[in-house]
Structure 1
Amino acid sequence: MNTLEVMTNLNKVIPYFQAIFSADSHTIIGYEVLARIETDDGIESLGPFFHDPTIPMEFSLEVDAFIHEKALEVILNKKEDVLLFLNVNANYVMIDNGEGLLTRLLTFRERGLMLSKIVIELTEHNVNGDMLMVATLCQKIKALGVKIAIDDVGVGASNLDRIGMLEPDILKVDIHALKSNQQTTSYDGVLYSLSLLARKIGA
């Protein structure tokens, strides 16, 4: 679908919930929210929409907010004690210094949602702006009881110092990408370094 079709069919945009399992208990501990859209040909991923650099940032923010609202509505009415992982593009939310995201979280807290169930996922190596400003936003989010996760750690241009600045609660490592990265000389060494970082920052 092209951009216009997505923006004029927001009523057909839906969240999909991908289960996250605990390696210890083999039970579902949370769900990652994925954006999908209903089309005449079936359900399609909105991944290409969000990764298209030609799409205006405002459009991506609008669809993102729409998906988050729907997903938060679902978990608000669920009695199940699970985490909800919301993907957030730091470059986009920093347009308003994160005020839109914070307002959304506070609105749902007022409606009775326990924000300790929410995990905001950021991808550190995609951040183009001032990392100090992003770190400040992360502190504000964590002050609400929301957890911060850094996605795709060890992939691309991940920088351990930058990750440390954000003080995340969770580090998500893409094992497949890490193993397939030919520039990674020591797979075990990278994982060891990440484990040391996690211990140091309490993640």
Structure 2
Amino acid sequence: MKKWHDITQPLTNNMAHWPGDTPFSFSISATKEQTGSANVGKIVTSVHMGTHVDAPFHFDNNGKTIEQIPISTYVGPALVIDVSRFSSINSTVLEEFNLGGIKRVLLRTSLPNNPSYFPKELPYLDPEIAPYLAAKGVILLGVDMPSVDPITSKSLDTHHALHHHGIHILENIMLDEVEPGNYELIALPLRIIGADGSPVRAILRSMEENS
């Protein structure tokens, strides 16, 4: 049997959030006793909390919003590669891996999967990986970090470079327990009209039996 791997950060009231952004909050807004029929929950959150995808509108006022991106972008074969021994990831690093025919690349970096801690620094993704990945046919890049750019970046060079080369962005996936290799990815965003991103439930299915 092919195994499913849940690579989604759990959404909890004590999870870390981007400094200055809206934190995640879940509460019961009405109890079964109050309504006479059902408990009703309420969430308040940024669309960039936890495991999420960025729409181009997030960093480009003329970019597509989340509902305008084909859902096929977020479903299909994906390759998990381990780049955790590198503090800076560029095309030279990526040349060590066979990306031929790969449309979705997921990077397991040196950043530990800890949803309750917001990191001060991230492994660096050089913007020049964008043309390299595009030349390989990649349409989606996933990372186990809150951003593909440095925390302090205002220019968001890697976001823009990936967008310019037709590559969509999946952030804050959890890959510490996932072996490198080929998987089927499902990471569907919510259909939020006009949104600059969306939380996703990201899962991987092993391509080999009993793995």
TM-score by length of 2: 0.31
TM-score by length of 1: 0.31
Instruction: Kindly indicate whether structure 1 or structure 2 has the higher relative contact order, using CA contacts under 8 Å at least 6 residues apart.
Output: 2
The answer to which structure has the higher strand fraction is 2
